[in-house]
Structure 1
Amino acid sequence: MNDLASIRQVADHFGLPVSTLHYWERRGLVTPHRRAGQRYYSADQFYRVALIQLWRTTGQLSLNEIAAALAASADSPGWRDTVTARIAAIEAEMVRLDSARAYLRGLLTCPREDALEHCDGFRGRVGLPVEATPK
């Protein structure tokens, strides 16, 4: 990379719309240099864009989480708190997704092709209120 890369070069490199980089700038996530009204990115800002994109896609961090992590000073491990919280959220989501998968796999064992509410597995899980029990 040369001294500075244009916003178009950065956007094309990362497969991002230019508007995304504008938005990240308004959010304070990136700070491009300005020359004659045009935005240019230094190597540090280029790597910042790469980090934000990686955190968004691989780390599944929200822009608010990324902003909090990037705002942490060198003296505080604040970004670690953000990452730790995100790991906990991902683990909770994995438990929820495992439960959903188990339920759906069980649903596939229902021999009925219609009226799934008549499947024994479903009716056994739900149960009727005591006063509504048929006599």
Structure 2
Amino acid sequence: MKSIGEVAARLGLPAHVLRFWEAEGLLTPARVGARRRYTDADLHRVAAILVAKEAGFELADIRTMLAARSAADRAAMAARQRERLRERIARAQAALELLEGDCPHDDMMTCPKYRRLLADRLNRQLDRS
């Protein structure tokens, strides 16, 4: 069993992050007196949280995913996250396309590329309404 400091150092996290995740119900390390003690299973859970965060999951979704009792529940959550990720990728791709190449227009509001980006943004906002 490892202390919070050992776990934090091993995974490159501040200890307060582990305490926060515990307060949020993501971790439940054992207690020896007032001290937290982390098992190998806890370390794997921390790694799972880090992987999920890198994939863009919010803490509430991570909590639900880790508590899911069936593959179907996890698959449904993963499908929702894939869609969110596709949307983020599309926005990043649109931004990259805007930045590639120089626009010859002095007034960027007259640039056809920029106007398409603006129209896409307005359409996405309308679709959400």
> 1:57-68, aligned counterparts within 5 Å?
57=54, 59-68=55-64
Runs of 4+ with >4 A deviation: 122-126
1:23 corresponds, among 20, 24, 39, to 20
Q: Deviations over 1:69-112 (max 9, x none)?
A: 01211x45312221111111111221222222222335x23164
Higher helix share: 2
Q: Which residue of 2 aligns with 1:110?
A: 104
Q: Which residue of 1 aligns with 2:32?
A: 35
Give the TM-score taking structure 2 as reference length: 0.78
Q: Which residue of 1 aligns with 2:65?
A: 69
Q: Distance in 1 between matches of 2:114 and 2:71?
A: 53
2:79 corresponds, among 73, 79, 84, to 84
Q: Which residue of 2 aligns with 1:129?
A: none
RMSD after superposition: 2.4
State how many pairs are aligned.
117
Amino acid at match of 2:16: S
Q: Distance in 2 between matches of 1:123 and 1:54?
A: 35
Q: Distance in 1 between matches of 2:93 and 2:72?
A: 32
Question: Where in structure 2 are there 5+ consecutive unaligned residues?
Answer: 119-129
Q: Deviations over 1:51-79 (max 9, x none)?
A: 1011112x121111101101211x45312
Question: Where in structure 1 are there 5+ consecutive unaligned residues?
Answer: 127-135
Give the TM-score taking structure 1 as reference length: 0.75
Q: Which residue of 2 aligns with 1:13?
A: 10
Identity %: 26
Amino acid at match of 1:110: P
Amino acid at match of 2:87: A
Which protein shows a greater Rg?
Answer: 1
